[in-house]
């Protein structure tokens, strides 16, 4: 969810003029926020490109630095279901199989409405 957030870019419209850091935003300005980029920012993440399942047990990023489902009042309504579904699926699969990325597989992301892996993610499964 950190390295490949489903919502890789979010659009918002400023309801009034404001300042963001050194930038002045006029009212009705379109603002794009990229969780994909924020989730890799070295200011907030130690070794940001590395997948580390234990990362969140010792590292708690500031609010809105980790936002795979967006944040604030427009948080994705499907978040609770998606997290429950992913937890149940992964728990069921890893009880029965060891997964290994298929040899010579090049993982390439494809940004569409949601972020996807281009050409799928072929895996080799070995029964445990």
Between the alpha carbon of residue 10 and those of residues 13, 30, 126, the distances in Å are 10, 10, 38
Kindly tell me the sign of the dihedral angle through the C-alpha atoms of 103, 105, 92, 90.
Answer: positive
For residue 59, pLDDT over 80 is answered with no
Closest-CA residue to 72 (of 115, 112, 15) = 15
pLDDT of residue 72: 87
- Taking CA 39 as the corner, what is the angle to CA 33 and CA 42, rounded to the nearest 5 degrees? 115
How do residues 105-121 score in pLDDT, each as one tens digit?
999 999 998 999 999 99
Q: What is the pTM of this model?
A: 0.81
pLDDT of residue 53: 84
For residue 24, pLDDT over 90 is answered with yes
pLDDT of residue 25: 96
């Amino acid at each position: 969810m950190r390295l490949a957030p489903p919502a890789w870019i979010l659009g918002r419209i400023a309801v009034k003029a404001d300042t963001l850091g050194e930038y002045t935003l006029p009212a009705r300005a379109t603002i794009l926020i990229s969780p994909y980029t924020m989730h890799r920012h070295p200011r907030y993440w130690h070794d940001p490109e590395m997948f580390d399942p234990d990362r969140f047990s010792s590292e708690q990023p500031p609010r809105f630095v980790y936002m795979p489902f967006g944040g604030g009042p427009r948080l994705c309504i499907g978040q609770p279901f998606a997290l429950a579904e992913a937890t149940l699926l992964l728990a069921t699969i890893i009880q029965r199989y060891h997964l290994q990325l298929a040899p010579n597989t090049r993982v390439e992301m494809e940004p569409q409405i949601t972020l996807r892996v281009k050409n799928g993610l072929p895996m080799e499964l070995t029964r445990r």
